Chains A and B, each alone.
Chain A
Amino acid sequence: MKQKYLYQYFFKSALHSFLFWLFAFVVVVEFIAPFLLNLDQLLDLSQKSDAVMIERNILENLNLSLYVLGFFLGPALGILAGRMLIKKESEALLALNISRGEFFVGSFLFHGCLLASIWLVFVLFYLLVAYIFKQPINAEMILKLILSIFGILLPFLWIGFFSANTKPIAAILLYLIIFLIIPNFGSVELSSAASSQKAVSFFARLASIIVPQTQPFQLAASPFSRLGPATMNLTNWKWLAYGILWSAFLLLSGFLIFRKKDLTDPHS
């Protein structure tokens, strides 16, 4: 009952946010429009000899869109979810019979569900393509489809976590460092090892271990670029556990900080 009004509030708040409309716009441009345009061709060509090539093109396109979704829209909604917790307007609700926990869960659940609904459209579209091209849908594919949500969920949670504790611009900078700069430390690590620079190599390796990785959930590792039957292997389960643990860690630590956080000093 209480949650219903809380979600109503989050929804209205999202509708009045610039980022929400940016989110909606990018979803339409990046995903729905190109694929709706291609769908007729897909159906016509599914029986022809070059069908496999077209199918791969379509799926790569889908995969790229998922990457864009993760890179831009996850953070956009993450900022909305994080800022919702600490903006001055929220005090009018937090002074009511609403606990910090309910507010935290409500904000992340609402914005997370919004993000997941777009991911779900991707998954359904993938299944439709697989069905049209008569591809077998096995357990490994289903697992990879599930795994692909972490490609958007981790950026969403990370930036949501930062936004609840710092200014949006600082949150965006931290996000770029974590998801753009640190992943490239892998190459630093290799070149440093070759030139015997052990310290650089060590720190590069350390950084690539402690920061979250989203690449395994996107592009080459995504199910969209690897059609065809495959057997389930341990790596996929490992990445599933990795995604779940990082998500749980971010949510739990975010909640523990927010639970005891002073809201904005009104004198400031």
Chain B
Amino acid sequence: MSEPIIVARELVKYYREHALSRQKKLALDNLSLEIGPGEIVALLGPNGAGKTTFLRILFGLIFPASGEVKVFGQPSEDSSWRKRAGYVSEFYTPPKFLRGLELLEISARVNGKSRKEFLDRLEWLDQALGVKPMLMMRISDYSRGMLQLIAITQALIHDPDLVALDEPTANLDAVSRKRLKLLLAELRKKGKSILLSSHILSEVEELCDRVIFLEKGKLIQQGKTKDLLSFEGGYLVAFKTPNIIPEELVPLGTIASDPELGTTLLETKSEAEKDLAVKILAQNGISIDSLEPKQKTLEDLFLSLVEEKKLEKYFLELVKDQ
């Protein structure tokens, strides 16, 4: 792999309960991760896992208690690398007194773009997201969905190499969500790196090359999306519903029939069960429509990770009590 563009090492971050409080809440717990050029990476985790905290540290809005982050080889608190990066904050609050166009022009120009480059890029983004009608409006008059669109446009107006998106589809309607998905696919083709934090796991599954799971500020699992969702041992066997389903099939897995389609689906948990089911079906002269290894979804994975952690915690507490 070529040189990573984001390198985070042992990041620790605490939040105080309030300004005068001595009690601290751990937001990032020795978090280390790397993101390579051209990668589309999803940051996943339950609320309070540290996803937004990591992105805010990355863009120099807050500082870690210890550890370091380098982006494009520079410390994250240096501002110069940011002309190669764009950020959509989950809590985006732009200056309300500006018009959309003014905000975008300031963003493009401070990032070193000429007026012509700015206008060309705006035209391209308008084709992708349809933002032109709202550019002359004051931001104070924007709806939540419009604010989200202007946030995405602002992050992309200077053609950055790295884009960090924190819940980018929040408040967007179905059309805008679809447009954003196409835009991100386009950026992927152009070799841009994208760091995406989202709760909509189906989108992440579709777009991202790699997934990083965080919980309570810790990295609990990471890997390529296709590896994480790969075959888990179980099979889905679909066959024409016979008059009587052979009894031997019942202990081999979950059986569900669709009377309208006239098919039955058997979900086995192992390869041996699948082999046995195929044998039984053949013996009974039942034809098999399809036979597929069972795929996990990100949601399955996410829930299993969170549940595992909960169970671990539960047993630890049980041991402590004894």
Contact = CB atoms under 8 A, between A and B. Distances in A.
Interface of A: 1-2, 5-6, 8-9, 12-13, 15-16, 88-89, 91-100, 102, 260, 262-263, 265-267
A89 B94 CA distance: 5
A94 B102 contact: no
A113 to B, nearest CB: 20
Nearest to B150: A92
Interface string B65-91: 000000000000111101100010111
B62 interface: yes
A16 B59 contact: no
B93 to A, nearest CB: 4
A95 B91 contact: no
B91 to A, nearest CB: 4
B263 interface: no
27 contacts: A2-B112, A5-B106, A9-B106, A12-B98, A12-B102, A13-B95, A13-B97, A15-B97, A88-B91, A89-B93, A89-B94, A92-B92, A92-B103, A92-B154, A93-B106, A94-B61, A95-B61, A95-B89, A96-B82, A97-B80, A100-B77, A100-B79, A102-B79, A262-B62, A262-B63, A266-B56, A266-B89
A65 B270 CA distance: 88
Interface residues of B, number: 35
Contacts of B89: 91-92, 95, 266
Of B91, B92, B95, B105, most buried by chain A (CB within 10 Å of CB) is: B95
Given A92-B154, A263-B62, A266-B90, A97 B95 contact: no
Contacts, number: 86
A263 B103 contact: no
A140 to B, nearest CB: 45
B111 interface: yes
A12 B97 contact: yes
Contacts of B107: 92, 96
Of A12, A15, A265, most buried by chain B (CB within 10 Å of CB) is: A265
Given A12-B97, A91-B93, 10 more contacts: A5-B106, A6-B110, A9-B95, A92-B94, A95-B61, A97-B80, A97-B83, A262-B61, A262-B63, A266-B89
Contacts of A9: 95, 98, 106
A265 B15 CA distance: 8
A264 to B, nearest CB: 9
Contacts of B293: none
Interface of B: 15, 52, 56, 59-63, 77-80, 82-83, 87, 89-98, 102-103, 105-107, 109-112, 154
Contacts of A13: 95, 97
Contact of B109 (A5, A15, A88, A92): A5
Contacts of A2: 109-110, 112
Contacts of A92: 89, 92-95, 103, 107, 154
Pairs of residues from A and B, 9 with the lowest C-beta to C-beta distance, nearest first: A266-B91, A16-B97, A99-B79, A97-B83, A262-B62, A88-B93, A89-B95, A92-B94, A95-B87
Contacts of A93: 95, 106, 110
Contacts of B111: 96-97
Contact of A266 (B52, B60, B82, B98): B52
A97 B93 contact: no
A91 B95 CA distance: 9
Contacts of A262: 61-63
B91 A98 contact: no
A96 B157 CA distance: 11
Given A9-B106, A91-B89, A260 B63 contact: yes
B216 to A, nearest CB: 15
Given A12-B98, A16-B97, A266-B91, A95 B59 contact: yes
Contacts of B61: 91, 94-95, 262-263
A109 to B, nearest CB: 16
Nearest to A4: B109
A128 to B, nearest CB: 37
A98 B96 contact: no
Nearest to A259: B77
A217 to B, nearest CB: 34
A9 B92 CA distance: 17
Contacts of A96: 79, 82-83, 107, 110-111
A9 B110 CA distance: 11
Contacts of A91: 61, 89, 93
Contact of A98 (B15, B79, B102): B79
B53 to A, nearest CB: 9
Contacts of B82: 95-98
A8 B109 CA distance: 12
Given A9-B95, A12-B102, A262-B63, A97 B90 contact: no
A94 B95 CA distance: 12
B141 to A, nearest CB: 14
Contacts of A6: 110
A97 B110 contact: yes
A94 B60 contact: yes
Contacts of B102: 12
